[in-house]
Structure formats: C-alpha cells, structure tokens
Amino acid sequence: MTAQTKVRHFLSMSDLSPGEIADVLERATAFKKGDRTRSLAGRNAVLIFEKPSLRTKLTFDIAVHELGGHPIYMAPQEVMLGKREPVKDVARMVSRVADLAVVRTFGHALIEEFAQAASIPVVNALSDAEHPCQALADLLTIRQHFGGIKGVRVAYIGDGNNVAASLALGLAATGGHLTIASPAGYELPERYAGQAISIGQKTGGTLSMVRKPASAAKGADFVYTDVWTSMGQEAETAIRLKAFAGYQVNPPLLDLAGKGVKFMHDMPAHPGEEISQGLFDDPRSIVFDQAENRLHAQAGLLDFLFS
C-alpha cells in the first residue's frame, strides 16, 4: 500500500466515538457467537512487540487468522523500534508490504510517531499511556455480565496507569460510573481524568477519584485491579510495594461491594501484591472471561477497521 489514503488508527480509546465503540462491541459479540466475516482476507498484519505478551499476541494472531488474514509476529529483539533504524522508516517500510500494524511499545510518543508515518491502520497493543484493546475487552465483559454498560458502577483499585486510563475513557464513552482509588502520587493523570469527565458529560458517564479502596468498592458492580509494578517499572518495585500497601483486592474488600459483584483483572497478576492468593478462584472472579474477550473484542475492532 503506497498511496497516502486517510487511514484510521486506534492508539487511544478516545479514537473511537461512543457510537463506534458500540459498533465494535456488536461485531465482537457476533464474533463470539461464531459469526465470521472475511474482512482481512488477503491482508497481512504485522505484530511488532517490544515487550512480552501472552494474551495480546495470542489473541491478535488468532483474530487476524479467523478474519482471513495473515499475522506476522516480530519479537522485541527483531525490530528494535528507533534503535536499529528510525521509527518512521520502519512504519513506511511496513506500510509497503502489510495492511495493518499492531504495535506494543514503551513510550506512547513512539507509537504516535509510527502512526504518523504509516499509511496503514496502526493499533496500540499497549503503550505506557494506554491499553485500549484491553479496555474494549473490559467493556465487552462488563456488557455480558451486567447486561449493558450504561449506569454500571466500576471500582478500580490501585495504579492510575495505562489500563486505568483506557478504562476511564471507555466507561465515560459508554455511560458507566468509574471510581478510582489510588495512593498519593499514583492517581490517573489529569489529562485522562479531564478527558473522561468531559466525554461523560455527553453520555452520563462519571469519573470519581478517591483515596480509600473501601470508598471505591462500596456498592460497586465490578471491582477491577492491575499490577502495582508494570512492565518497565521493575526498578521501582520496592517503592511501589510500600506505596500500594493497603490497596490489595481481597475477599473482604469484595464483600463491601454490591451483592453480585464481579472481580476483574487484565492479567498477568502478582498474587500476594495487588490481589490476595487464590482470588482468581473466587466465585466472583471473571478474569478468564475477560481474557477470552480480548480475542472477540480485537476481532470486532479489526472487522470495524477493515469493513
């Protein structure tokens, strides 16, 4: 593909309007029921990963294949974005032979630079700022367990990180109510909080930021957490363990929530840190539904981008 046509990228949850998110979730639901379109037939999708992955790599590979396309995985040591050659040269080269680039990297600016130079759709498979594909799967999971998203109450306990940012934007766009409990210094960045609040003013969605996990969990339909130390932050482990003490999600915290509360985690988890040992086996846990929904949500996204 050489022509500089207008292409849709998916770098942030805010790249999709509320109506487009609903469209992607409809397509994801149809895919989950077994409907298969051939929207990627004859197309090549390169998966460029600069960080490890189980769920994202596996589910993008399967989704591309199931939609009739050809996935090509490039491991961290192969491409070395911006180190072996300039990011924009990689983007321009890939655009000549592939139809889609799925990129997992560290700095969000790098994926923006890649998308700027690419003439094919670029999908953010996780950056330090956002994890929008995870958020699509989270919304699909909430929709399936709650019967919809509008009005749902979600408590997110812990780090106001990339997962929290995309979740906040996604829930705001779909009319959900999110309360984030974080220790001082680890709140959702102001940029995302402001964006989520602004989007929510049009949809009825709300975002609240609190300090105490119990305040967030009370009455919640879903309690969600993520690791305290994300990939690339390993040098901060000791300081983070101290900062997040008291922010563990465990059965007593879930007991404070609504009667039918469900527990969510994007995985992988660090049991003994952000969750108590064995929490994945608690009857309230839906983490494997959530992980499976990565496949369906991404298939819905790719179908949307290529239909």
Instruction: Provide the binding-site residues for ligand CP, judged by CB under 6 A.
Output: 53-56, 126, 134, 266-267
Cβ at position 265, least distance to ligand CP in Å: 9
Cβ at position 252, least distance to ligand CP in Å: 26
Cβ at position 13, least distance to ligand CP in Å: 14
CA pair distance 219, 257, nearest whole angstrom? 4
User: Is the CB of 223 or the CB of 287 nearer to ligand CP?
Assistant: 287
Confirm if 158 and 165 have CB atoms less than 8 A apart: no
CA pair distance 292, 290, nearest whole angstrom? 6
* Angle, vertex CA 106, rays to CA 102 and CA 111, nearest 5: 45
User: Is the CB of 177 or the CB of 262 nearer to ligand CP?
Assistant: 262
Give me the helices (H) in the chain, please.
18-32, 55-66, 76-79, 87-97, 108-117, 132-146, 162-173, 190-203, 213-217, 237-243, 251-255, 287-306
Confirm if 175 and 19 have CB atoms less than 8 A apart: no
User: Is the CB of 61 or the CB of 66 nearer to ligand CP?
Assistant: 61
User: Is the CB of 24 or the CB of 199 nearer to ligand CP?
Assistant: 24
Q: Which two tokens stand for residue 260?
A: 């039918």
Confirm if 61 and 89 have CB atoms less than 8 A apart: no
Cβ at position 194, least distance to ligand CP in Å: 25
Q: Which residues contact 127 (CB under 8 A, 6 or more apart)?
A: 11, 104, 105, 106, 107, 108, 110, 111, 162
User: Is the CB of 55 or the CB of 177 nearer to ligand CP?
Assistant: 55
Cβ at position 202, least distance to ligand CP in Å: 29
Q: Looking at the DSSP assignment, which residues form a beta bridge with residue 2? A: none
User: Is the CB of 132 or the CB of 183 nearer to ligand CP?
Assistant: 132
Cβ at position 259, least distance to ligand CP in Å: 28
